[in-house]
Amino acid sequence: MGYIGAHGVTALRRYKYSGVDHSYLAKYVLQPFWSRFVNFFPLWMPCLRLVICFKEVLLFIPITLIGFMFLVTSALLAYIYSPQLDSPPPRWVHFAHGLLLFLYQTFDAVDGKQARRTNSSSPLGELFDHGCDALACALVIMAVGSTTMCERDTFWFWVISAIPFYGATWEHYFTNTLILPVINGPTEGIALIYTCHFITAIVGAQWWAQQFGKSIPLFSWVPFVNEIPIYRAVLYLMTAFGVLPTFACNINNVHKVIQARKGSMVLALSMLYPFVVLVGGVLVWDYLSPSDIIRKYPHLVTLGTGLAFGFLVGRMILAHLCDEPKGLKTSMCMSLLYIPLAIANVFTARLNDGVPLVDEFWILLGYLVFTTSLYLHFAISVIHEITTALGIYCFSSAKIQYDDCNNMCIQVSSTGNRFTPFVPLEC
């Protein structure tokens, strides 16, 4: 199945990224640090020349991918030391979570600077970068669940991280500019999370399970709030003062653009449908589940849904890059195909004394395999189509050319050197 048509190829060739970050933390603290840190990377990255078996080859190492592997390591630590996110891991694990997240943020920010520094920016780079960020939502929250011991509420933390991300991507699709407000998730949000990891390494994970009123006496007089755990109070506060206002701004900005272009707001809102159904479907599955899947397998549910979310975001970004007509993309609904099967299996438990037709662990594992396969198919297919359309190599704007002997040569934009990856014996 092809994802990019002839019109999309033309749009890719003229696409230019536009983004604005109004964060004061980024402007006065992090940007100066990132501008210095990027100088540690040599100009040949992401292009590395190697000689293997007397043949000169190119190895492309995108900085974003290196940063993404830090998050994978963090998520693995969370799974190993807190399988159900209800027990405190060793304190060094909290410190590792914070350090790995800080490194991810740094590498993710430096990747764009390195691309501009080496003149290797491309639409594929943007798609890959934001695609990793979409998957990062799930991996970051798995570590957060380990640190705060929030059990099944881990999924809700993922929801409130995914809503602003999806809203920003949706807004970018219509306004053609990615606008990050003064306080935003990629900057202040991530900084807050790794600060919490570092603090937890000192005070211990049990602090998050205390009642909010006892931990912070200032709020002990407030009814309801003083009795809930600290992590749940944080969840409610972030939703009320962070997520909802941010998403309201996304809708308002899109509405202004729709009005100016005399378009249909219904078509614009229809692009939110797959995300709403995805979250709603998983919650219905969990509600009907006889084994309480989110409490018993929080990592699998969060990761599987995070991969489906990554597909939705990636498909929307591709639609933006290819200047596709505004409105719901039916292929986005492919990520929803498995959930009705899972819910149907849960209903069989009602007819069989609480025992489903297939054990829910295997259904959940199948969900993870399905979403992983769907995302990998999308990623591999789009990488192949974009590199073919633009005549570039993966993760680089290096141009693929051929010499007089019809041997493949690559023009590396960062150095301007032209060489043959596979040296012929004779010409």
Question: Annotated catalytic sites, by residue?
Answer: 130
Q: Which residues contact 259 (CB under 8 A, 6 or more apart)?
A: none
Identify the helix (H) or strand (E) that includes residue 409: strand 408-411
Identify the helix (H) or strand (E) that includes residue 48: strand 47-52
CB 236 within 8 A of CB 254: no
- Which tokens sit at 23? 């964060």
> What is the secondary structure of 349-363 as a DSSP string?
HHTTTT--SS-HHHH
What span, in angstroms and rounded, lies between the C-alpha atoms of 336 and 319?
19
273 closest CA partner among 312, 321, 324: 312
CB 234 within 8 A of CB 219: no
By three-state DSSP, how is residue 413 classified?
coil
Length of the chain: 427
CB 126 within 8 A of CB 242: no
334 closest CA partner among 353, 312, 356: 312
- Which tokens sit at 253? 């900005």
Q: Which residues contact 126 (CB under 8 A, 6 or more apart)?
A: 17, 317, 321
Cα distances (Å, whole numbers) of residue 389 to 8, 9, 235, 302, 383:
9, 6, 44, 35, 10
What span, in angstroms and rounded, lies between the C-alpha atoms of 211 and 237?
15
Identify the helix (H) or strand (E) that includes residue 180: strand 178-180
By three-state DSSP, how is residue 87 classified?
coil
What span, in angstroms and rounded, lies between the C-alpha atoms of 84 and 79?
8
Q: What angle do CA 216, 220, 226 make, to 5 degrees?
A: 90
Tally of CB atoms within 10 A around 20? 9
CB 153 within 8 A of CB 229: no
